[in-house]
């Protein structure tokens, strides 16, 4: 009968039978939801990403992000947003206006900046240096990935997972290899959620008990630092301004990320006079950006794009990038300890990774397990926060050289 036939045609049953990849993707979406909801792995991002995966893989729903060659018209021209919405639906409208333009990651950085307190870093400034060594995973995995057949741009996007910073990874990938956005974002946020597993693993393989017992507060008493901060508020206001200008002169392509991070931080530190702005940056703007970032990044993972050998390589490579970055931070501390009397606990190198503030909490827990009086959280936060700056700078270098 005609009606039933038309009814059947309306459904997506035929599509799913024709491409069981859809079912696999739905299962992956459900698994990511499980990780986000039950395991509480970075739920703020993983839940929207997972739901985006599901929406994108409901055939006929018109909610999957289409490859950018369907948007390009040649000669540098593209469809406009009305045409994208009309031809490809609202998810592509959102993706191409908010993500492909590179808009949301700097906006999220503004919110993160307005939630970040540079105080712990300013009180232990020297430790900030270890945020540099913990970018090692980015560049070593980049080299490995090229060896394995990735293009330089793809390899850089894979490597940046080792920066352990979601928006930075997403921004870099948008600029260099947008077709890999889904798996790279998933890997970045998943491994950030797995920091309580990865840091202890690497630390156990690289550090001796004696090193892990180094007590930072005792070291501070023995070798007190000379600088006292008399006016923390003034320092905190001046710091993002000066840092922003100087860093930007050295790595101009990091301005969209670092500039917005420091702007967010500045309005936070100014305080009550611009509290309305800080409230918006950390509230409605950040939350709205998170929803749409998650859904659209998830929606890039259509069966056609995700079920690829590169996805597996990204998952493996992302893990290595994390591990090598932690290793780099630990080694830098060990080298510093060779030359200084004032010893540093290598856990403070491990937190140079970033993944603020979870890495610091994990490191603190390890330290307390070895010596229940060795509270190192405040020290860890210094390299931890500087690790955010470090990976944004690394991203700037990659974009500047490869774009």
Residues that bind another protein in the complex, under the rule CB under 8 A: 2-3, 6-7, 10, 115, 121-122, 125-126, 128-129, 131-133, 135-136, 138-140, 142-143, 146-147, 151-152, 155-156, 227-235, 238-239, 242-243, 246-247, 250-251, 271-272, 275-276, 279, 282-283, 386, 389-390, 393-394, 397-398, 401-402
CB of 111 to another protein, least distance (A): 11
Could you give the string, one character per residue 178-217, with x where binding to a second copy holds by CB under 8 A and - elsewhere? Answer: ----------------------------------------
Helix (H, G, I), strand (E, B) or coil at 69: helix
Distance CA 402, CA 199 (A): 30
For residues 128 and 247, which CB has a smaller minimum distance to a second copy in the complex?
247
146 scored as a contact of a second copy (CB under 8 A): no
DSSP 288-321: HHHHHHHHHHHHT--HHHHSSHHHHHHHHHHHHH
The residues in 51-80 that bind a second copy, with binding defined as CB under 8 A, are 51, 54-55, 58-63, 71, 76-80
DSSP 211-223: HHT--HHHHHHHS
291 scored as a contact of a second copy (CB under 8 A): yes
360 scored as a contact of Na ion (CB under 5 A): no
- Candidate residues 1, 2, 5, 10; the one interacting with a second copy per rule CB under 8 A: 10
Candidates 383, 354, 349; CA nearest to 366 is 349
- Give the interface size with Na ion as a residue count (CB under 5 A): 5
CB atoms within 10 A of CB 287: 12
Contacted entry of another protein, a second copy, Na ion, none for residue 399, CB cut-off 5 to 8 Å set by kind: none
Stated as kind and residue range, the H or E segment containing 78 is strand 77-78
User: Is the peptide bond between 357 and the residue preceding it cis, with omega within 30 degrees of 0?
Assistant: yes
For residues 37 and 201, which CB has a smaller minimum distance to a second copy in the complex?
37
Distance CA 261, CA 259 (A): 5
- Candidate residues 133, 202, 285, 321; the one interacting with a second copy per rule CB under 8 A: 285
For residues 56 and 188, which CB has a smaller minimum distance to a second copy in the complex?
56
Side-chain-side CA neighbours of 389 within 13 Å: the count stands at: 24
CB-count exposure of residue 4 (10 Å: 0-12, 13-18, 19+):
exposed
Q: 3-state secondary structure string, 34-46? A: HHHHCCCCCHHHH
CB of 134 to Na ion, least distance (A): 6
- For residues 55 and 298, the answer to whether their CB atoms sit within 8 Å is yes
Stretch binding Na ion (CB under 5 A), from 37-45, 53-61, 302-310, 351-359? 351-359
The residues in 221-250 that bind a second copy, with binding defined as CB under 8 A, are 237, 241, 244-245, 248-250
DSSP code at position 231:
-
Distance CA 294, CA 299 (A): 8
The residues in 19-38 that bind a second copy, with binding defined as CB under 8 A, are 26, 30, 33, 37
Based on C-alpha coordinates, what's the Rg of the chain?
23
For residues 284 and 340, which CB has a smaller minimum distance to a second copy in the complex?
284
- Give me the residue label for tokens 């270890």: 130
The residues in 163-182 that bind Na ion, with binding defined as CB under 5 A, are 163-164
132 scored as a contact of a second copy (CB under 8 A): no
Binding site for Na ion (CB under 5 A): 163-164, 354, 387, 391
């Amino acid at each position: 009968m005609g009606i039933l036939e038309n009814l059947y045609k309306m459904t997506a049953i035929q599509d799913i039978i024709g491409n069981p990849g859809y079912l696999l993707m739905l299962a992956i979406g459900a698994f990511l939801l499980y990780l986000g909801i039950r395991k509480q792995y970075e739920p703020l991002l993983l839940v929207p990403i997972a739901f985006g995966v599901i929406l994108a893989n409901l055939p006929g729903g018109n909610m999957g992000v289409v490859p950018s060659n369907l948007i390009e018209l040649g000669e540098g021209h593209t469809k406009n947003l009305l045409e994208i919405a009309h031809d490809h639906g609202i998810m592509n409208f959102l993706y191409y206006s908010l993500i492909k333009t590179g808009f949301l990651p700097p906006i999220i950085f503004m919110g993160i900046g307005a939630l970040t307190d540079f105080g712990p870093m300013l009180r232990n400034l020297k430790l900030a240096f270890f945020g540099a060594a913990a970018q090692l995973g980015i560049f070593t995995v980049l080299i490995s990935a090229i060896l394995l057949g990735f293009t330089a741009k793809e390899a850089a996007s894979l490597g940046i997972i080792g920066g352990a910073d979601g928006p930075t990874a997403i921004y870099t990938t948008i600029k260099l290899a947008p077709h890999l956005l889904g798996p790279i974002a998933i890997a970045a946020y998943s491994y950030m959620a797995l920091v309580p597993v990865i840091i202890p693993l690497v630390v156990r393989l690289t550090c001796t008990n004696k090193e892990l017992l180094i007590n930072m507060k005792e070291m501070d008493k023995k070798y007190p630092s000379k600088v006292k901060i008399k006016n923390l508020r003034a320092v905190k206001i001046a710091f993002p301004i000066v840092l922003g200008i100087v860093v930007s002169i050295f790595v101009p392509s990091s301005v969209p990320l670092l500039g917005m991070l420091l702007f967010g931080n500045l309005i936070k530190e100014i305080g009550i006079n611009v509290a309305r702005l800080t409230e918006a940056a950390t509230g409605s703007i950040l939350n709205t950006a998170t929803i749409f970032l998650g859904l659209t990044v998830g929606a890039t993972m259509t069966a056609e794009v995700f079920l690829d050998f590169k996805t597996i390589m990204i998952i493996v490579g992302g893990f290595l990038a994390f591990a090598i970055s932690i290793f780099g931070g630990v080694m830098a501390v060990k080298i510093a300890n060779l030359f200084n009397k004032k010893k540093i606990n290598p856990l403070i190198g491990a937190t140079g990774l970033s993944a603020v503030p979870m890495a610091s909490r994990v490191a603190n827990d390890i330290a307390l397990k070895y010596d229940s009086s060795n509270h190192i959280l405040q020290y860890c936060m210094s390299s931890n926060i500087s690790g955010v700056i470090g990976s944004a700078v690394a991203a700037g270098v990659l974009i500047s050289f490869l774009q």
